[in-house]
Amino acid sequence: MLYPGLIRQYRTYLPVAEEAVVTLHEGRTPLFESKGLVKKFNLPIQLYLKLEGLNPTGSFKDRGMTYAVSKAVEMGTKAIICASTGNTSASAAAYAARAGIAAMVVVPEGKIALGKLSQAQIHGAQVFQVKGNFDEALAVVKKISEQDGIILVNSINPHRLLGQQTAAFEIVEDLGDAPDYHFIPVGNAGNIVAYYRGYTRYFEEGKAKQKPKMCGFQAAGSAPIVLNKIIEHPETVASAIRIGNPANWQPAKEVAKESGGFIDKVEDEEILAAYEAVAQVDGFFCEPASAASIAGLIKKAKEGFFKGGEKVVCTLTGHGLKDPDQAIALSPKPHVVEARVEAVLEKLKW
Q: How far is the CB of 286 from ligand AN7 (least distance, A)?
A: 8
Q: What is d(CA 299, CA 148) in angstroms, rounded to the nearest whole number?
A: 47
Binding flag, residue 133, ligand AN7 (CB under 6 A) = no
Pairing of strands 31-33, 46-51: antiparallel
Cβ closest to ligand AN7, residue 5 vs residue 115: 115
Binding flag, residue 293, ligand AN7 (CB under 6 A) = no
Cβ closest to ligand AN7, residue 165 vs residue 200: 165
Q: What is d(CA 317, CA 313) in angstroms, rounded to the nearest whole number?
A: 12
Binding flag, residue 289, ligand AN7 (CB under 6 A) = yes
Strand, helix or coil for residue 260 = coil
Strand, helix or coil for residue 111 = coil
Which segment (5-13, 37-45, 84-92, 170-178) binds ligand AN7 by CB under 6 A? 84-92
Q: How far is the CB of 189 from ligand AN7 (least distance, A)?
A: 5
Q: How far is the CB of 130 from ligand AN7 (least distance, A)?
A: 13
Strand, helix or coil for residue 319 = strand
Strand, helix or coil for residue 193 = helix
Ranges within 295-324 binding ligand AN7 (CB under 6 A):
317-318
Which segment (8-16, 142-150, 284-292, 295-303) binds ligand AN7 by CB under 6 A? 284-292
- Collect all residues with Cβ–Cβ distance below 8 Å to 271 and sequence separation of at least 6: 219, 236, 237, 238, 288, 289, 291, 292, 295
Cβ closest to ligand AN7, residue 179 vs residue 216: 216
At 120, the amino acid letter reads: A
Ranges within 224-243 binding ligand AN7 (CB under 6 A):
240-241
Residue 167 region, left (φ>0) first, then alpha (ψ -120 to 50), else beta?
Answer: alpha
Among 47, 125, 189, 279, binds ligand AN7 (CB under 6 A): 189
Binding flag, residue 87, ligand AN7 (CB under 6 A) = yes
Closest by Cα among 57, 139, 122 to 103: 122
Binding flag, residue 245, ligand AN7 (CB under 6 A) = no
Q: How far is the CB of 248 from ligand AN7 (least distance, A)?
A: 7
At 145, the amino acid letter reads: S
Q: How far is the CB of 185 from ligand AN7 (least distance, A)?
A: 4
Q: What is d(CA 38, CA 33) in angstroms, rounded to the nearest whole number?
A: 9
Extended strands (E) in the chain: 31-33, 46-51, 79-83, 102-108, 126-130, 150-152, 181-185, 213-219, 262-266, 311-316
Binding flag, residue 185, ligand AN7 (CB under 6 A) = yes
Binding flag, residue 244, ligand AN7 (CB under 6 A) = no
Binding flag, residue 85, ligand AN7 (CB under 6 A) = yes
Q: How far is the CB of 125 from ligand AN7 (least distance, A)?
A: 13
Using an 8 Å Cβ cutoff, are 272 and 288 in contact? yes
| Cβ count near 328 (within 10 Å) | 10
Binding flag, residue 191, ligand AN7 (CB under 6 A) = yes
Cα dist. 161→194, 195, 254 in Å?
5, 8, 15
Cβ closest to ligand AN7, residue 21 vs residue 120: 120
Cβ closest to ligand AN7, residue 103 vs residue 240: 240
Binding flag, residue 264, ligand AN7 (CB under 6 A) = no
Binding positions for ligand AN7, rule: CB under 6 A: 59, 84-88, 155, 185-191, 240-241, 287, 289-290, 317-318
